Amino acid sequence: MKSWGEALGRSLGAQCSRVGRLRRALVLLAAAACTAAALLYWRQQTNEMGRRPMHNMYTGIEPQWTWICRNDRCERMLATETNTLQSLPTCNMLCASTQLWPQPTGPVSLATAAVPVRADSFTLKVIASPSQDVTDHLNDAFALMREDIHILEKATAGETRRSDIGAVQNVLVQVVVNGSGDPRMRLNTNESYKLVLRPFQNKNNLIVDITARSFCGARHGFETLSQLVWLDPYANSLLILEAATVDDAPRFSYRGLLLDTSRNYFALPEILRTIDAMAACKLNTFHWHVSDSQSFPLRLDSVPQLAQHGAYGPGAIYTMDDVRTVVRRARLRGIRVLLEVDAPAHVGRAWSWGPAAGLGHLAYCVEVEPWSAYCGEPPCGQLNPRNPHVYELLEHIYAEIIRVTGVDDLFHLGGDEVSERCWTQHFNDTDPMELWLEFTRRALKALEAANAGKMPELTLLWSSRLTRTPYLERLDSKNVGVQVWGASRWPESRAVLDAGFRSVISHVDAWYLDCGFGSWRDSSDGHCGPYRSWQQVYEHRPWTEEAPPPGGEASPWRVEGGAACQWTEQLGPGGLDARVWPRSAALAERLWSDRTEGAAADVYLRLDTQRARLVARGVRAAPLWPRWCSHNPHACL
Ligand SMILES: *[C@@H]1O[C@H](CO)[C@@H](O)[C@H](O)[C@H]1NC(C)=O
Ligand SMILES: *[C@@H]1O[C@H](CO)[C@@H](O)[C@H](O)[C@H]1NC(C)=O
Ligand SMILES: *[C@@H]1O[C@H](CO)[C@@H](O)[C@H](O)[C@H]1NC(C)=O
């Protein structure tokens, strides 16, 4: 084994001119990659890890298979056919493709050799931080990363036999954050980070330098670092690449996952696990569609009546402490919690206590029949836009949401699928569209008041008739944006963008994860299908379909990003993970990397690895394919 010093002594030029032979250089920016590659020592796999006999995790049963890297591919062989024994994860990590997910957008160089490591060998040193708050968050986020690695380690059969695999490394992670002193994920948070992993002094020490502009960027760096660590089941040890550089930043600033907890309830551990899985894929917005006409599980301190009248029962309620727990975990994972209480439609029994409380009708058409005349799915219900108490209550709700989530630059008002017929029945003197506009204006006013007199920088509405001409123009594009969920017929989204509104894309025909499970009502009208495969999720790239407006004078389109939507009419806790993962991971790479290629071979391989990571962390993600294909990936591609 050659030493690091020798490696650095090698000619830089020679490395750069032979980039094609470097098996793992992903050259995105040739010059930068050259520099990065030059800093690294590229080495074929050592045979240190592949010696036999091994103390493997499958006590008493010798591994049947071994993988060798041949022509940039991992090939499976019978262990008896060769005298090196290499596990599939190790072969994947050391063979041709990078195994990072999402694919970084800047230059990446990864060594092709690994060294053993343990979860407790990682220590953090905060070299520079703009605030105590950021420092505290770095410490706590680092502890979470170590826990993630520790979970892998717990899968080993017992104490690692040091004599088998060589000395265990100490890994010193040095972090510099130069930028925002606010650890929250904000609209203007710079999420870029740079990671350099290298041996230090002697080969028992690794140094990782992570530099970032924000806590969130540094945290993404931790996540990438954790992806350079894996469990080798044959060596019965964790391994880490011995050198790496990654320069990375996301393409879109809004990378979301919506979970609906109204149609069916999901207990806290399910939500926390979803947050963890999101973080593993560098998604940054947990859009919590907490209430709808079916149930209102959020027990607000300011308006407890809503949960009292709207929740399914005592076992299906989120206390504000629960929400704080979610927000806390999300914060440390670089994720904002966007808590949406939908209005004025998509409300139900939760709002039916007005008359008894002397507040008059807060809502109309609650559970009215025939439902199909008044709403998209039973039960119906719509707020009373002419009752001033409605806006007072909304102000309380909004204030509490902002307080508990700490998100005050971004808000979601809901606002889709208003039944004109319902309002017409009660207010036949007014065009229901005018009522809808009036409601939206007054709700925005309530929001402003709830947010200490300041409009959030961006308030999202679901796309609807209100966000089309001629009503769209009457909204203020300065602080209102549209979450476009209609079919990806681009014109609808385009009109929103051409009019200068910022948008978040959630096209139903690509990013609705609930579709394809048939109808849950006796009539099948309106159900959503077919199933959107991970490849469809991945390949949806609507912003490329047409060029921005000609002339170049109009302001450029403002696509903030996108979100996958998991509505839960037909989903409960037991099925959550496999429904959402790995498809949301596919979305995460679309929004982080936005590579122009579709689901190419390397995407299958990397996503398979990412899926295995999620599974190792306790997320029951669906398999991409038969396990045989993981064993023989190129035979399935
Ligand atoms: C922090 O970033 C600014 C540029 O925004 C730069 O001028 C400054 O030198 C940096 N400070 C450190 C300590 O790197
Ligand atoms: C984020 O910070 C990086 C590193 O300083 C810089 O190169 C990049 O331009 C910044 N991104 C934005 C959107 O400001
Ligand atoms: C409007 O509603 C009122 C009271 O419900 C009713 O008397 C009146 O006839 C209605 N007008 C129309 C045009 O439907």
Residue 108: in which H helix or E strand, if any? strand 108-110
Per-residue model confidence (pLDDT) at position 164 = 52
DSSP assignment of 231-285 equals EETTTTEEEEES-EEEEE--S-SEEEEEEE-SSS---HHHHHHHHHHHHHTT--E
Per-residue model confidence (pLDDT) at position 578 = 98
Q: How far is the CA of 101 from the centre of ligand 2 (A)?
A: 21
Per-residue model confidence (pLDDT) at position 49 = 45
Number of domains in the chain: 3
Lining ligand 1 with CB less than 6 A are 128, 178
Q: Which-ligand-closest: CA of 194?
A: 2
Final residue in a domain of this structure, among 224, 248, 272 = 248
Alpha-carbon gap, residue 572 to 270, rounded angstroms: 10
Per-residue model confidence (pLDDT) at position 542 = 86
| Domain limits for position 132 | 100-248
Q: Which of 193, 213, 246 to mutate to test the pocket of ligand 2 (most atoms within 8 A of CB)?
A: 213
Final residue in a domain of this structure, among 220, 248, 276 = 248
Q: How far are the Cα atoms of 66, 199, 439, 465, 494 from residue 471, in angstroms, in the given order?
A: 64, 61, 13, 8, 15
Q: Does residue 88 lie in a domain region?
A: no
> Closest residue (by CA) to atom 14 of ligand 2?
190
Burial category of 388 from C-beta neighbours within 10 Å (exposed 0-12, middle 13-18, buried 19 and up):
exposed
- Number of neighbouring beta carbons within 10 Å of residue 64: 11
Any idea what the CATH number is for the domain that residue 451 is in? 3.20.20.80
Q: Which-ligand-closest: CA of 429?
A: 3
pLDDT tens-digit series, residues 145-201: 999 999 998 877 655 444 455 667 799 999 999 999 999 999 999 999 999 999 988
Q: Are residues 238 and 259 in the same domain?
A: no
Q: Which of 178, 192, 194 to mutate to test the pocket of ligand 1 (most atoms within 8 A of CB)?
A: 178
Q: Are residues 436 and 564 in the same domain?
A: yes
Q: Which-ligand-closest: CA of 193?
A: 2
Q: Are residues 174 and 208 in the same domain?
A: yes
Q: Does residue 511 lie in a domain region?
A: no
> Closest residue (by CA) to atom 11 of ligand 1?
178
DSSP 385: T
Q: Are residues 139 and 267 in the same domain?
A: no
Number of H helices, E strands in the chain: 20, 21
Per-residue model confidence (pLDDT) at position 30 = 36
Q: Confirm if 602 and 550 have CB atoms less than 8 A apart.
A: no
Alpha-carbon gap, residue 67 to 69, rounded angstroms: 7
Lining ligand 2 with CB less than 6 A are 190, 192, 213
Q: Are residues 204 and 317 in the same domain?
A: no
Reduce the DSSP state of residue 373 to 3 states and report it.
helix
Q: How far is the CA of 423 from the centre of ligand 3 (A)?
A: 13
Q: Are residues 240 and 295 in the same domain?
A: no
Reduce the DSSP state of residue 197 to 3 states and report it.
strand
Does the bond joining 432 to the residue before it have cis omega, within 30 degrees of 0? no
Q: Are residues 47 and 156 in the same domain?
A: no
Burial category of 150 from C-beta neighbours within 10 Å (exposed 0-12, middle 13-18, buried 19 and up):
middle
Q: At what angle do helices 583-592 and 268-280 cross, to 10 degrees?
A: 40
Q: How far is the CA of 428 from the centre of ligand 3 (A)?
A: 6
pLDDT tens-digit series, residues 352-394: 999 999 999 999 999 999 999 999 999 999 999 999 999 999 9
Q: Which-ligand-closest: CA of 189?
A: 2
Q: Are residues 188 and 305 in the same domain?
A: no
Per-residue model confidence (pLDDT) at position 125 = 98
Q: How far is the CA of 430 from the centre of ligand 3 (A)?
A: 11
> Closest residue (by CA) to atom 5 of ligand 1?
179
Q: Name the residue with tokens 């931080």.
A: 129
Which amino acids are annotated catalytic?
Answer: 417
Q: Are residues 32 and 16 in the same domain?
A: yes
Per-residue model confidence (pLDDT) at position 166 = 65
**Residue 17 exposure: Cα atoms within 13 Å on the Cβ side:** 5
Q: Are residues 161 and 230 in the same domain?
A: yes
Alpha-carbon gap, residue 148 to 158, rounded angstroms: 18
**Residue 580 exposure: Cα atoms within 13 Å on the Cβ side:** 34
Q: Does residue 190 lie in a domain region?
A: yes
Per-residue model confidence (pLDDT) at position 162 = 45
> Closest residue (by CA) to atom 6 of ligand 2?
192
Index of the ligand 2 atom closest to the CA of residue 194: 4
Any idea what the CATH number is for the domain that residue 212 is in? 3.30.379.10
Nearest to 281 by CA among 621, 610, 602, 596: 610
- Number of neighbouring beta carbons within 10 Å of residue 99: 23
Q: Are residues 155 and 193 in the same domain?
A: yes
Question: Measured between alpha carbons, how far apart are the two ends of the chain, in Å?
Answer: 35
Final residue in a domain of this structure, among 231, 248, 265 = 248
- Number of neighbouring beta carbons within 10 Å of residue 202: 9
> Closest residue (by CA) to atom 13 of ligand 2?
190
Q: Extract the residue ranges of the chain whose pLDDT is less than 50.
A: 1-55, 160-163, 553-554
Per-residue model confidence (pLDDT) at position 1 = 29
Per-residue model confidence (pLDDT) at position 278 = 98
Q: Are residues 33 and 134 in the same domain?
A: no
Q: How far is the CA of 15 from the centre of ligand 3 (A)?
A: 83
Reduce the DSSP state of residue 365 to 3 states and report it.
coil
